[in-house]
A and B are shown apart, each in its own frame.
Chain A
Amino acid sequence: AQSVTQPDIHITVSEGASLELRCNYSYGATPYLFWYVQSPGQGLQLLLKYFSGDTLVQGIKGFEAEFKRSQSSFNLRKPSVHWSDAAEYFCAGGTYSGGGADGLTFGKGTHLIIQP
């Protein structure tokens, strides 16, 4: 069965420190992969996406993610976090099965806390 796992429920990082949020996937074929961010009380905003090609993808707000097929991972990184990065982060994956509405499978989310 297809699955997306975010092993860390909460992560606390000091402002200015680097960040890595983990995401592992389990799919029969190479999935499409996404990272979304959700600020308190808001909907989900797309940070970045991977379809194919270059395994290091750049996103908005200074985020990047690297697709590693050998590790079945798509970890999100940022070199220096800002207090405004405090939010819930969701990794999601999907595949194209040839028709209909192919949905996304979401991880359970990682809650990022920024310490002053």
Chain B
Amino acid sequence: DVKVTQSSRYLVKRTGEKVFLECVQDMDHENMFWYRQDPGLGLRLIYFSYDVKMKEKGDIPEGYSVSREKKERFSLILESASTNQTSMYLCASSFAADRSYNEQFFGPGTRLTVL
């Protein structure tokens, strides 16, 4: 079974803190994704990566950065957390599109609260 794990299920941080959200997948997937999920807005893509050290902006990258130093690990970084970044964050991974039809596998999510 594909397994995507996220470092924390719940996280509470203060405004201005630097926040790291970690995601690890064990299926040797090339692609990894970070989404945020908010009521009424569905899933919005923040960043994705198709290879080690490669990253691409998604629809809402402002206020976020990412790091992919190893194939299995994809980190989302909030450089200076703000209250409007309170959300559920979902990590996903997939094989390269030509052999996966973009099927993505999701982690359990991290619910981040910024006070």
Q: Interface residues, chain A, CB within 8 Å of chain B?
A: 9, 32, 34, 36, 41-46, 49, 51, 90, 94-97, 99-104, 106-109
Contact = CB atoms under 8 A, between A and B. Distances in A.
Interface of B: 4, 30-31, 33, 40-43, 45, 48-50, 56, 58, 90, 92, 94, 96-98, 101-109, 111
Given A34-B103, A109-B42, 19 more contacts: A32-B101, A41-B111, A42-B108, A43-B90, A43-B106, A44-B90, A49-B101, A90-B42, A94-B101, A96-B98, A99-B97, A100-B50, A100-B56, A102-B97, A103-B48, A104-B102, A106-B43, A107-B42, A108-B40
Nearest to A9: B40
15 contacts: A9-B40, A41-B109, A42-B109, A43-B106, A44-B106, A46-B103, A49-B103, A94-B102, A95-B102, A96-B102, A100-B56, A101-B50, A101-B94, A103-B45, A108-B41
